[in-house]
Amino acid sequence: MAKMTDGADQENVTTPSDTIVLFDVDGTLTKPRLSIEPPMMTTLKKLRQKVNIGVVGGSDLPKQKEQLGPTTLQMFDYNFAENGVVAYEDSEWKSSTWKQFVMHEMRRKSDCIAEDAM
């Protein structure tokens, strides 16, 4: 479960789902090379109440912060910058590639399922 703060109202939202919805930055969350608009922020905030959300972009983290705002790591449960080369979860750096990160999470969850079955 993750908590979201959008930087403005510091409202915490607990996400009760194991589902992750990933978004691209340019052309999806923002118009190419422009900043995110308030209606999109509101939509993401509402969606995050139901599922975990993440962003995947080709740019480095400083460029993502220019487009998504300075609290981008807090806005998303997962952030994959530089075409997935850099991964963050709950604002913390986790892996040097998205593949390593996802594989680690899959192993961790399957271990938990196996322990529950015993």
C-alpha to C-alpha distances, 47 to 20, 51, 96, 109, 116, nearest whole angstrom: 11, 6, 27, 23, 29
Q: Is 6 a catalytic residue?
A: no
C-alpha to C-alpha distances, 73 to 12, 85, 92, 109, nearest whole angstrom: 14, 16, 8, 23
Q: Is 24 a catalytic residue?
A: yes
Is residue 22 classed as helix, strand or coil in its secondary structure? strand
Q: Is the pTM of this model over 0.75?
A: no
Is 90 a domain residue?
A: yes
Q: Give how many domains the chain has, as a whole number.
A: 1
Catalytic position from the list 6, 18, 26, 111: 26
Is 14 a domain residue?
A: no
Q: Mean pLDDT across the chain, nearest whole number?
A: 78
CATH label of the domain that carries residue 101:
3.40.50.1000
Q: What is the pLDDT of residues 60-88, one digit of tens each?
A: 999 999 999 999 999 999 898 888 778 77
Q: What is the pLDDT of residues 19-46, one digit of tens each?
A: 889 999 989 999 988 999 999 999 999 9
Catalytic position from the list 6, 9, 24, 60: 24
